[in-house]
Structure 1
Amino acid sequence: MGRFTMENDRLAVTIDDLGAELVSVYDKKYKREIIWQGDPTWWKRQAPILFPNVGKYYGGEYLYQGRHYVQDQHGFARDYELERMEESGNSVTHRFVSNEETRKGYPFDFELLITHRLTGAEVEIQWQIKNTGDHEMYFTIGGHPGFNVPVLPGTAYSDYALKFADDQNELKYIHIDMATGTGLPDKVYTMPLTEHKYPLSKALFDLDALVFDGGQIQKAGIEMPDGTDYVTVLCDDFPNFGIWAAPGAPFVCLEPWCGRCDNFGYEGELKDKPGINHLKEEEVFKKVYTIAIGG
């Protein structure tokens, strides 16, 4: 198991072969680490890929063709060492293919390619999934990057703010049932924005993640105390988005998703799950999001 680092004049970016996880984005200009460094006191991970499922299934299992399959929260891709296929001075691609072990809980054949590409002050993350099996495949997939907050000496968590697209004045979100880890869509909350921003507070995550459905978020970032941009996630055409931090932890996760956890009480077939992605035989799914470093 190893790590791959690429860098330019602005950033040094490191990806671990374990799960093709982004483990460091070091900003040379300001001499600071952007990515949460995985302190297990709060959360041991840093920016895992969530595949073949984002979040949890209700009861920890799903129904496929009349049979129940057990699957852990956020799937298994993050826990496998991935093959490094291609690497250059500014990009690296990892490959993960289905195997006997993955088929026990996920009876589909696939090839997953994860590419990280460095350009200027941006890191682009691309996912490509191919259905290599002989029947239709169902999945959700998401990013889960965590960012250090606060990042400036002498500042507090509450000195920072979430920042969204310029045309947004409010957002709608739901919470997750903390006992089952599944969505509660019947109660929708409003996040009013002031100049497209919302102040950060640790109390914001007392009820776990904020889940935004309906493709509301195509851009979400964190603003510095002085109003400048710290980091921004750009994610065109992503139907779901999560914002999360562990209670009391000095980080914020900005999570672009294609699909999400089950709704509370969902016990239907996987193919009928709201927001599930479908791939026919030999069909390919591609999605890209970008982490842009400000300043």
Structure 2
Amino acid sequence: MMMGTEMLRGIRPQTTAGSRNAFVTLVTNADYAMGAVALARSIRLTGSPADIVVLFTGGVEASALQPLEALGCRLVEVDHLPLSHAFNLRHGRGNLHANAPFTKGRKPSFHSPLDNFCKLRLWQLIDYATCVFIDADAIVLKNIDKLFDYPEFSAAPNVYESLADFHRLNSGVFVAKPSLATFGAMLKQLDEPDVFWRRTDQTFLETFFPDWHGLPVFMNMLQYVWFNLPELWDWKEIGVLHYQYEKPWEADHPKAALLKPLIDLWQAYHSGVGVPDIATLANPVPAAAA
């Protein structure tokens, strides 16, 4: 196992930390950089003093990162994890989606499953006491700094179709304590012979932290709740809105008509123009009441 400074390989911060806590996201291409702009602006609007850290891979052009720098984000370049060739083959887009197909929504063409594992480099950010990871396809609707007081490992359930999903976590939002010892243990368990993580980092984290602490569903409200479980939706309670599957910046995606109010909201945060008072937004109407 790597030790000491070797455990810090694969990450290259461009600036120093400005806080003991950080919101962290991952950007692997221009599309997710676009998403991260909306996310960073949404966090800034909550008045949080925490750093906003953007982990980015070599697949991101410097021009796509400039808006994030302008928003005061701390940029940290990261390499893909040092995983075996066999692991990478099993978890490549074609093999993974063939062996663990998505049937409830459409993954966009720019989604690359192997990129997901770069999230684990968060545990190398040891200049922070606590990090709250948020996927770049999400926005924060109110101050959620209380999450920095939650234990490792905390995550919200993967609820988007039925309440039966409460037993599974969704790794789009989680609370973690950076530690090189934890990172080393993760690398060892991640690449065991013939292992297959059906939902990449999500399945791995659920296995690595079997006693994960549940966050309220409102801390990672998945967009499909809007039409699948409208009675669960309450704008006044939602801390993080997560655009799982189809992305709000995609033109005419299959769920665009159903999700138009959510797409319009994301567009406002991305542009910084016309961001509404969330408390004034109308909740979806359950089918029985429509």
TM-score by shorter chain over 0.5: no
- State the TM-score, normalized to the length of structure 1: 0.27
- State the TM-score, normalized to the length of structure 2: 0.27
Higher normalized helix content (fraction of residues): 2
Higher normalized strand content (fraction of residues): 1
